[in-house]
């Protein structure tokens, strides 16, 4: 579920993280704004570097291209494929151990599962162990988005410890071309019509959702449709001092005290100094937060979920 695909930081037509989980009753715990499940992230890239023969990297798949992982004597394609398959099997065994022996609930298998053969391997593994599978495919054909993503994510990647920025761009674009050779996208109209998956197209410009079957899959879809990769600033602010604060009372729905109103004016001045474009303000439905926000002079939204949790029997006071 998590991982690269969920952050939608992927390259052109690359795929696929997937979620595997047991259909047995899950034991969620409550946190924040919803239900949280215990999950773990399994990275094929990490295994590729840790297992013996780590130089057998699919990034050297394009013969004759000067990729940073390509050696003077590249291994035959069959050897590279065998090493990739071995890494996948080792990672899947870790997934199995996590879900069946370590009380895990959700496993994220992060890899470039770009071929039907690889995805069928995973599906057969899931069937043998009674796991459910949900694929996440991120597709991007916008050159500007791809370039920005490479510079933002890959320049600081340990894959490129000694590279200059321009070399990283060139290297990774070549890597994309390598994946295009064997890439087989999920096909909702024929071969993959019975699978559960979501396609995220151009970092959230469009989505294609296929056969969402349960609560977990619906939550993954909801999450993916509400994330972004653009940097944003979020300010968390308490309301100004309330009348009940002066009386030492907990809870209730009192308005602002004179000092609370003074605070709201100071907050307005601070926000104006930030020169925020398209400012959005959320408040609870309580008077003290609404009065604090009204002073800002911008539209605001009231959210019940932001209301203070009832303190004892405050509604009886």
Q: How far apart are CA 32 and CA 269, in angstroms?
A: 30
User: What does the buried/exposed string (b/e) look like for 219-248 if buried means 16 or more CB atoms within 10 Å of the residue's CB?
Assistant: ebbeebeeeeeeeeeeeeeebbbbbbbeee
Nearest residue to 253 via CA among 317, 299, 301: 317
List the catalytic residue out of 140, 192, 241, 295: 140
Instruction: Judge whether 237 counts as a catalytic residue.
Output: no
List the catalytic residue out of 12, 57, 110, 241: 110
List the catalytic residue out of 53, 170, 294, 308: 308
List the catalytic residue out of 137, 171, 239, 241: 239
Nearest residue to 230 via CA among 145, 139, 166: 145
Instruction: Judge whether 110 counts as a catalytic residue.
Output: yes
Instruction: Judge whether 278 counts as a catalytic residue.
Output: no
Alpha helices, DSSP H, located in the chain: 44-50, 77-100, 116-128, 143-149, 165-182, 215-224, 243-247, 258-274, 287-294
CA angle 247, 248, 254 (to 5 degrees): 60
Nearest residue to 65 via CA among 205, 186, 170, 150: 170
Residues with catalytic roles:
110, 140, 239, 308
């Amino acid at each position: 579920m998590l991982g690269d695909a969920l952050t939608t930081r992927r390259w052109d037509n690359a795929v696929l993280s997937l979620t595997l989980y047991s259909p047995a009753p899950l034991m969620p715990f409550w946190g924040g704004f919803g239900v949280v499940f215990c999950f773990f992230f399994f990275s094929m890239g990490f295994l590729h570097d840790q297992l013996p023969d780590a130089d057998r990297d699919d990034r050297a798949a394009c013969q004759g291209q000067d990729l940073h992982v390509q050696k003077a004597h590249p291994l035959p394609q069959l050897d590279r494929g065998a090493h990739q398959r071995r890494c996948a099997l080792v990672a899947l065994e870790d997934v199995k151990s996590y879900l069946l022996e370590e009380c895990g609930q959700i496993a994220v298998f992060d890899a470039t599962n770009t071929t039907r053969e690889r995805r069928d391997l995973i599906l057969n593994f899931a069937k043998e162990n009674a796991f459910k599978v949900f694929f996440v495919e991120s597709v991007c054909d916008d050159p500007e988005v791809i370039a920005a993503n490479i510079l933002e994510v890959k320049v600081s990647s340990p894959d490129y410890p000694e590279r200059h920025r321009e070399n990283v761009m060139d290297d990774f674009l070549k890597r994309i071309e390598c994946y295009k050779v064997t890439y087989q996208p999920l096909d909702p109209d024929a071969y993959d019509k019975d699978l559960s998956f979501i396609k995220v197209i151009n970092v959230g410009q469009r989505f294609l959702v296929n056969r969402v079957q349960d609560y977990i899959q619906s939550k993954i879809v909801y999450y993916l449709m509400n994330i972004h990769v653009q940097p944003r600033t979020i300010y968390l602010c308490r309301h100004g001092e309330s009348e009940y604060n002066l009386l030492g009372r907990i809870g209730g729905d009192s308005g602002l005290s004179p000092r609370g109103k003074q605070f709201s004016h100071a907050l307005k001045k601070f926000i104006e100094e930030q020169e925020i474009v398209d400012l959005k303000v959320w408040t609870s439905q309580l008077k003290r937060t609404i009065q604090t926000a009204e002073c800002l002079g911008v539209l605001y939204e009231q959210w019940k979920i932001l209301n203070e949790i009832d303190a004892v029997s405050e509604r009886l006071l």
